[in-house]
C-alpha cells in the first residue's frame, strides 16, 4: 500500500486507492455541485462533478493500484480523473501509486514568505526547470486561494513582475475559514531506469503560505495537520527583526514588519509543533530537513565582501551544489553571530538533526515599503531556489554535486 499525502488537504491517503471524478460526459445529465467534503477540508467552494470510489469488487485487490477508470454512478461516464478520497480534490495522475514531497513554508508575518514563494515558484518554472531539463508546472486549479491558475499568475506574478506591486499582508487563517490553499507544482523529469534507458518521472511539491501568527496559536488544526505531514520545511526569518542586523542598516520604519523577539519565537513554536506531530522522543532531535531562510539579504550586499559565497551564485549545473550550500551556511552562521543572534543557532543545533542556513533575496533591491512597490529595476531574485533545491536533494528529487 503506497501511502502518500494529499497535497490539498494534507491527509495521508493510499495512493493505490484514489477515487474517481466524473467529467459530466455520460448519457444522463450530470451536474456540478459544491462538494461538502472539499469545503470542509480545503475551504474550496469550487463546483465539481461527482467524486466516487472505485467499485468495491475491484478495490479489494490490494496488490494492484486498481482500475484505470470507473463508471460514474450518476451519468455512467467512464471517469479516469483521480481524486483524493478525503477532500475529493482532483489529483494529477502521477500521484497514483506514487509518493510526493510535501515542502512546508512557514515564517513570521512580514518575513517575506509570500514574495519568496511567488518568486521561487516563478524561478522554478522559468530558470530551474531549464537548468535541470525538467518541466515544472502549476497543477492546482486554485493555487494559493485564487480561482484559477491564470488568476494566480495575474494576481501574484503579473502583479509583482509587471505592475511592480508588493502583495498585501497575508491574512491569518482565521480570516480564511481556517484553510490555506497550497500552490502545487509538478516537477517532471527524465530519470535513469534500473535496467537502462530513461523514463519520465514526476514529483509533486506542495507549498503553503502560512502566516507566522497562525503558528502562535498551536490549536490551529490546519497548521498542525500541515506541519505533521511535511517531509521538509522552509522557515523564513526576517533579518530586519534582529537588532544586531538592523543596526547595520538605515531602514525606514515601514520596512520593519516583525517584532524583535519574533524570529526565535517562530522557530520555537515550529519546534514544539514538530516535536509533537512527528512524535519526537525526549533527548532526540527532529529528523526532517529544515531550511532556515534569511530573506531580504540584498539589504546587506554593501556590507558583504564580493568573495563571500552569499554574494555568488551556485552555478548552472543540473544538481544541488552542496559545497556552495555548505559555504553559504557557514557564512550565514558567522553573520548570525555578528548580528548577535547566536540563540537561533543554539536552538537549531539542539533541536534539529539536519538544517541549513540560506541567505536569499526575492526582490534583489530595496522596495518602496511605504508605496508597496518593487524597486524601479524590477524583480532581481538572488539564490531563492537554493533552499528548495537543497530540500529536494534531501527527497532525492534532484541530485547532489
Partner 1 sequence: MQFDEAGYVQEFLRKAGRGQSLPDDLLTRYAITLPASDAEIGAQLKAVRACWTKHYGGSNFAAKAAKLCRAEDERLRQQYDSAMEKASWWQLRRDEQSAAAQESIGVLAAELRRAYGELGVVTAARAGSLAESLGLAQQDAIEAVGQAGLTLVAAADLPQVSPIATFSALQRDMAECAASSVPELVHPASGPFRLLDRYECVGDPQKRLDVLAVEAQIATAERRGNSATDTARRSALQALRTALRDGVDLREVALFHLMKAAEQRARQSAALTAESLERAGLERHDAVALAVMLFDQAQVGQAAGLDQIRKLIRTGGLGEASQIAASLPADSSVRPEAVRLVDEARQRLMTLLAAATEAKAVPDEAEAARLLREAALISAEDAAQALAAVPLPPPANLRAICDGMQVKLYWQAATGHDGDTRYEVYRSEQRTPAAPGDGSVVYRGAEQSCADAHAPVARELHYCVFAVGSGRQSSRPAPAVVTLVPPVTQLQAEAGPAEVTVHWSAHPDVHAVLVTSVAGGRPPVAVPTQGGTGRLTGLAEGETQDIEVVAVYRAPGGAELRSAVAQISATPRSEARPIPRLRAKPVGTGGAVRLLVSWIPVDKSDVRIMRSDAPPRWPFGTWVSHDDMTACGQEVTGRRFTERGEERLEAEVPAGVHHLVAFSIGGTGIVRGHAVAVGITEPVRQLAVTLFASHATVSWEWPDTAQLAEVTWKAGDDADCFVISRAEYRSGGGARVPLGGSPVTIEVRAVVVADGTNFTSPPAVEVTGVTARPEISYAVARSLGMGPLGGRPTGLTFQSAQGCHGVRIQFVARPGPVMPTTSDGTFVLAEKELSLAPGGTAQWPVDASRVKLKRPYWVRCFVVGGEARLLDPPISTLKAS
Strand intervals (E) in 244-284: none
- Minimum distance, C-beta of residue 376 to partner 1, in the bound complex (Å): 4
Query: How far apart are alpha carbons 355 and 348 in whole angstroms?
Result: 7
Query: How far apart are alpha carbons 181 and 207 in whole angstroms?
Result: 9
C-alpha cell at 289: 530537513
> Which is closer to partner 1, CB of 72 or CB of 384?
384
- Minimum distance, C-beta of residue 144 to partner 1, in the bound complex (Å): 21
221 Cβ neighbours under 8 A, 6+ residues apart? 178
- Taking each helix axis from N to C end, the angle separating 322-338 and 386-394, rounded to the nearest 10 degrees, works out to 120
Query: How far apart are alpha carbons 165 and 249 in whole angstroms?
Result: 24
> Which is closer to partner 1, CB of 194 or CB of 350?
350
- Minimum distance, C-beta of residue 349 to partner 1, in the bound complex (Å): 8
Give 83's strand partners.
Answer: 19, 90
Give 70's strand partners.
Answer: 79
* 8 Å CB contact between 337 and 349: no
> Which is closer to partner 1, CB of 217 or CB of 338?
338
Of 73, 50, 160, 80, nearest in space to 112 by CA? 160
> Which is closer to partner 1, CB of 39 or CB of 304?
304
225-226-230 Cα angle (round to 5): 120
- Minimum distance, C-beta of residue 43 to partner 1, in the bound complex (Å): 33
- Minimum distance, C-beta of residue 298 to partner 1, in the bound complex (Å): 8
> Which is closer to partner 1, CB of 226 or CB of 339?
339
* 8 Å CB contact between 207 and 102: no
Q: Is 154 helix (H, G, I), strand (E, B) or coil?
A: helix
Q: Is 113 helix (H, G, I), strand (E, B) or coil?
A: helix
> Which is closer to partner 1, CB of 6 or CB of 120?
120
- Minimum distance, C-beta of residue 260 to partner 1, in the bound complex (Å): 22
- Minimum distance, C-beta of residue 290 to partner 1, in the bound complex (Å): 17
Query: How far apart are alpha carbons 221 and 194 in whole angstroms?
Result: 41
> Which is closer to partner 1, CB of 230 or CB of 379?
379
Query: How far apart are alpha carbons 6 and 14 in whole angstroms?
Result: 9
- Span between the terminal Cα atoms of the chain, in Å: 33
Of 17, 22, 16, 18, nearest in space to 73 by CA? 22
- Minimum distance, C-beta of residue 397 to partner 1, in the bound complex (Å): 23
Range list of H helices, 178-255: 213-216, 221-229, 243-246
Query: How far apart are alpha carbons 16 and 62 in whole angstroms?
Result: 8
- The single-letter DSSP state of residue 165 is B
- Minimum distance, C-beta of residue 301 to partner 1, in the bound complex (Å): 6
> Which is closer to partner 1, CB of 98 or CB of 127?
127
> Which is closer to partner 1, CB of 211 or CB of 360?
360
- Minimum distance, C-beta of residue 35 to partner 1, in the bound complex (Å): 38
> Which is closer to partner 1, CB of 92 or CB of 381?
381
H or E stretch at 330:
helix 322-338
- Residues of this chain that bind partner 1 (CB under 8 A): 126-127, 161, 298, 301, 306-309, 311-313, 323, 326-327, 330-331, 333-334, 337-338, 342, 349, 364-365, 375-382
Amino acid at each position: 500500500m503506497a501511502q502518500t499525502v494529499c497535497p490539498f488537504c494534507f491527509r495521508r491517503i493510499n495512493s493505490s486507492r484514489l477515487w474517481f471524478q466524473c467529467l459530466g460526459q455520460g448519457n444522463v445529465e450530470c451536474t456540478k455541485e459544491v462538494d461538502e467534503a472539499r469545503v470542509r477540508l480545503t475551504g474550496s467552494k469550487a463546483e465539481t462533478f461527482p467524486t466516487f470510489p472505485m467499485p468495491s469488487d475491484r478495490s479489494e485487490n490490494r496488490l494492484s493500484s486498481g482500475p484505470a477508470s470507473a463508471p460514474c454512478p450518476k451519468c455512467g461516464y467512464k471517469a479516469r480523473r483521480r481524486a483524493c478520497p478525503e477532500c475529493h480534490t482532483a489529483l494529477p495522475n502521477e500521484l497514483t501509486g506514487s509518493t510526493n514531497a510535501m515542502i512546508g513554508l512557514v515564517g513570521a508575518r512580514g518575513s517575506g514568505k509570500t514574495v519568496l514563494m511567488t518568486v521561487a515558484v516563478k524561478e522554478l518554472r522559468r530558470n530551474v526547470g531549464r537548468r535541470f531539463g525538467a518541466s515544472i508546472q502549476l497543477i492546482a486549479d486554485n493555487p494559493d486561494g485564487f480561482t484559477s491558475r491564470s488568476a494566480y499568475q495575474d494576481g501574484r506574478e503579473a502583479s509583482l513582475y509587471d505592475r511592480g506591486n508588493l502583495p498585501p499582508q497575508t491574512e491569518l487563517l482565521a480570516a480564511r475559514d481556517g484553510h490555506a490553499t497550497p500552490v502545487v507544482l509538478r516537477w517532471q523529469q527524465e530519470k535513469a531506469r534500473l535496467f537502462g534507458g530513461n523514463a519520465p518521472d514526476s514529483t509533486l511539491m506542495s507549498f503553503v503560505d502560512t502566516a507566522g501568527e497562525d503558528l502562535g496559536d498551536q490549536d490551529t488544526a490546519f497548521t498542525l495537520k500541515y506541519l505533521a505531514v511535511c517531509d521538509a520545511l522552509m522557515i523564513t526569518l526576517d533579518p530586519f527583526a534582529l537588532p544586531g542586523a538592523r543596526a547595520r542598516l538605515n531602514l525606514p520604519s515601514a520596512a520593519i514588519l516583525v517584532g524583535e523577539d519574533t524570529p526565535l519565537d517562530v522557530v520555537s513554536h515550529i519546534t514544539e509543533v514538530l516535536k509533537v506531530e512527528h512524535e519526537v522522543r525526549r533527548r532526540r532531535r527532529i529528523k526532517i530537513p529544515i531550511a532556515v531562510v534569511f530573506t531580504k539579504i540584498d539589504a546587506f550586499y554593501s556590507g558583504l565582501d564580493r568573495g563571500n559565497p552569499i554574494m555568488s551564485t551556485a552555478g548552472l549545473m543540473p544538481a544541488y551544489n552542496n559545497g556552495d550550500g555548505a559555504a553559504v551556511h557557514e557564512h550565514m552562521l558567522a553573520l548570525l553571530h555578528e548580528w548577535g543572534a547566536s540563540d537561533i543557532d543554539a536552538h537549531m543545533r539542539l533541536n534539529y538533526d539536519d538544517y541549513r542556513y540560506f541567505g536569499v533575496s526575492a526582490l534583489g533591491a530595496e522596495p518602496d515599503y511605504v508605496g508597496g512597490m518593487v524597486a524601479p529595476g524590477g524583480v532581481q531574485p538572488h539564490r531563492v531556489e537554493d533552499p528548495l533545491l537543497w530540500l529536494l536533494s534531501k527527497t532525492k528529487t534532484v541530485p547532489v554535486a
